[in-house]
Amino acid sequence: MNTLPQTRHREAAEQSVQLAMPMLEAARADRRVGESGFLHVVIMDPQARPADGDFESAILYEKSIGDTSRWDADYGAYARAKARLSWRTGRPSHEVLALQPHLVAQGDVLVWGSAVVDGVVVAVSGANPWFDEALSGAIAHLFKACVHAQVDAQASA
Protein backbone atom coordinates (compact mmCIF):
# COMPACT_ATOMS: atom_id res chain seq x y z
CA MET A 1 0.00 0.00 0.00
CA ASN A 2 1.39 3.41 -1.00
CA THR A 3 1.00 6.24 1.48
CA LEU A 4 1.65 9.93 1.02
CA PRO A 5 4.09 11.19 3.66
CA GLN A 6 2.86 14.23 5.60
CA THR A 7 5.93 16.21 4.52
CA ARG A 8 4.53 16.10 1.01
CA HIS A 9 1.51 18.08 2.20
CA ARG A 10 3.89 20.77 3.38
CA GLU A 11 5.60 20.71 -0.01
CA ALA A 12 2.20 21.06 -1.68
CA ALA A 13 1.34 23.99 0.58
CA GLU A 14 4.59 25.74 -0.28
CA GLN A 15 4.09 25.02 -3.99
CA SER A 16 0.53 26.35 -3.90
CA VAL A 17 1.71 29.67 -2.48
CA GLN A 18 4.54 29.83 -5.02
CA LEU A 19 2.07 29.24 -7.86
CA ALA A 20 -0.17 31.97 -6.43
CA MET A 21 2.74 34.39 -5.93
CA PRO A 22 2.17 36.44 -9.14
CA MET A 23 -1.43 37.00 -8.04
CA LEU A 24 -0.39 37.73 -4.44
CA GLU A 25 2.27 40.23 -5.55
CA ALA A 26 -0.20 41.95 -7.88
CA ALA A 27 -2.76 42.12 -5.07
CA ARG A 28 -0.18 43.50 -2.65
CA ALA A 29 0.68 46.30 -5.08
CA ASP A 30 -2.93 47.24 -5.91
CA ARG A 31 -4.38 49.76 -3.44
CA ARG A 32 -7.90 48.78 -4.55
CA VAL A 33 -7.24 45.34 -3.06
CA GLY A 34 -5.84 46.67 0.20
CA GLU A 35 -3.81 49.59 1.43
CA SER A 36 -1.28 47.78 3.62
CA GLY A 37 1.02 46.56 0.87
CA PHE A 38 1.60 43.36 2.83
CA LEU A 39 0.07 39.89 2.98
CA HIS A 40 0.39 36.90 5.27
CA VAL A 41 -0.82 33.41 4.34
CA VAL A 42 -1.62 30.53 6.70
CA ILE A 43 -2.44 27.02 5.48
CA MET A 44 -3.72 24.48 7.98
CA ASP A 45 -2.99 20.77 7.87
CA PRO A 46 -6.18 19.27 6.40
CA GLN A 47 -5.65 16.07 8.40
CA ALA A 48 -5.30 17.83 11.77
CA ARG A 49 -8.44 18.12 13.88
CA PRO A 50 -9.02 20.47 16.83
CA ALA A 51 -9.88 17.53 19.10
CA ASP A 52 -6.57 15.85 18.32
CA GLY A 53 -4.09 18.66 18.95
CA ASP A 54 -3.35 22.32 19.36
CA PHE A 55 -3.72 25.02 16.75
CA GLU A 56 -0.03 25.89 16.38
CA SER A 57 0.86 22.26 15.65
CA ALA A 58 -1.84 22.14 12.97
CA ILE A 59 -0.34 25.01 10.96
CA LEU A 60 1.09 23.38 7.87
CA TYR A 61 2.67 26.43 6.23
CA GLU A 62 2.94 30.20 6.68
CA LYS A 63 4.35 32.84 4.37
CA SER A 64 4.74 36.60 4.75
CA ILE A 65 4.77 38.64 1.57
CA GLY A 66 6.49 41.98 1.93
CA ASP A 67 9.01 43.26 4.45
CA THR A 68 7.64 42.29 7.87
CA SER A 69 9.79 44.94 9.57
CA ARG A 70 7.60 47.56 7.87
CA TRP A 71 4.23 46.07 8.89
CA ASP A 72 1.82 48.63 10.35
CA ALA A 73 -0.16 45.78 11.99
CA ASP A 74 0.54 42.16 12.86
CA TYR A 75 -0.83 40.58 9.70
CA GLY A 76 0.50 37.21 10.81
CA ALA A 77 -1.59 37.35 13.98
CA TYR A 78 -4.68 38.34 12.01
CA ALA A 79 -4.18 35.54 9.47
CA ARG A 80 -3.65 33.01 12.26
CA ALA A 81 -6.80 34.27 14.04
CA LYS A 82 -8.85 33.80 10.86
CA ALA A 83 -7.31 30.37 10.31
CA ARG A 84 -8.00 29.37 13.92
CA LEU A 85 -11.68 30.33 13.65
CA SER A 86 -12.09 28.45 10.37
CA TRP A 87 -10.11 25.42 11.55
CA ARG A 88 -12.15 25.16 14.73
CA THR A 89 -15.55 25.58 13.02
CA GLY A 90 -14.87 24.10 9.57
CA ARG A 91 -16.40 27.26 8.05
CA PRO A 92 -15.03 30.37 6.32
CA SER A 93 -14.56 33.19 8.83
CA HIS A 94 -17.02 35.48 7.01
CA GLU A 95 -19.73 32.83 7.17
CA VAL A 96 -19.17 32.34 10.90
CA LEU A 97 -19.16 36.05 11.71
CA ALA A 98 -22.13 36.93 9.48
CA LEU A 99 -24.36 33.87 9.75
CA GLN A 100 -23.22 31.72 12.66
CA PRO A 101 -22.19 34.08 15.46
CA HIS A 102 -23.10 31.38 17.98
CA LEU A 103 -19.88 29.63 16.90
CA VAL A 104 -17.70 32.59 17.92
CA ALA A 105 -15.79 31.75 21.09
CA GLN A 106 -14.35 34.08 23.68
CA GLY A 107 -10.97 35.24 22.44
CA ASP A 108 -11.81 34.90 18.75
CA VAL A 109 -10.76 37.92 16.72
CA LEU A 110 -13.71 39.30 14.77
CA VAL A 111 -12.00 39.65 11.39
CA TRP A 112 -12.71 37.67 8.25
CA GLY A 113 -10.86 36.61 5.15
CA SER A 114 -10.41 32.85 5.07
CA ALA A 115 -11.63 29.96 2.97
CA VAL A 116 -12.49 26.34 3.66
CA VAL A 117 -12.45 24.23 0.50
CA ASP A 118 -13.11 20.51 0.96
CA GLY A 119 -11.47 20.59 4.38
CA VAL A 120 -8.54 22.76 3.32
CA VAL A 121 -8.36 25.86 5.54
CA VAL A 122 -6.42 28.87 4.25
CA ALA A 123 -6.40 32.39 5.67
CA VAL A 124 -4.86 35.54 4.24
CA SER A 125 -4.49 38.90 5.93
CA GLY A 126 -3.33 42.28 4.69
CA ALA A 127 -5.93 43.12 2.04
CA ASN A 128 -9.59 44.04 2.34
CA PRO A 129 -11.40 41.02 3.81
CA TRP A 130 -13.26 40.17 0.60
CA PHE A 131 -9.92 39.96 -1.20
CA ASP A 132 -8.33 38.06 1.70
CA GLU A 133 -11.15 35.53 1.29
CA ALA A 134 -10.72 35.33 -2.50
CA LEU A 135 -6.95 34.89 -2.25
CA SER A 136 -7.45 32.23 0.43
CA GLY A 137 -9.85 30.33 -1.82
CA ALA A 138 -7.46 30.42 -4.76
CA ILE A 139 -4.61 29.08 -2.62
CA ALA A 140 -6.85 26.35 -1.18
CA HIS A 141 -7.75 25.18 -4.69
CA LEU A 142 -4.09 25.28 -5.72
CA PHE A 143 -3.19 23.22 -2.64
CA LYS A 144 -5.73 20.57 -3.63
CA ALA A 145 -4.30 20.50 -7.16
CA CYS A 146 -0.72 20.19 -5.88
CA VAL A 147 -1.65 17.29 -3.59
CA HIS A 148 -3.55 15.66 -6.45
CA ALA A 149 -0.45 15.95 -8.65
CA GLN A 150 1.66 14.32 -5.91
CA VAL A 151 -0.80 11.46 -5.49
CA ASP A 152 -1.00 10.99 -9.26
CA ALA A 153 2.80 10.95 -9.56
CA GLN A 154 3.08 8.44 -6.73
CA ALA A 155 0.44 6.19 -8.28
CA SER A 156 2.29 6.30 -11.60
CA ALA A 157 5.65 5.44 -10.01
In a domain, 95, yes or no: yes
What's the domain count of the chain?
A: 1
In a domain, 94, yes or no: yes
Which residue range is the domain that position 101 belongs to? 6-151
**pTM for this prediction:** 0.94
CA 122 to chain centre: 2
Q: What is the CATH number of the domain that holds 135?
A: 3.30.450.150
Q: pLDDT tens digits for 18-77?
A: 999 999 999 999 999 999 999 999 999 999 999 988 999 999 999 999 999 999 999 999
Q: Please name the amino acid found at residue 28.
A: R
* CA distances, 56 to each of 10, 69, 87, 124, 133 (Å): 15, 22, 11, 16, 21
In a domain, 1, yes or no: no
In a domain, 157, yes or no: no
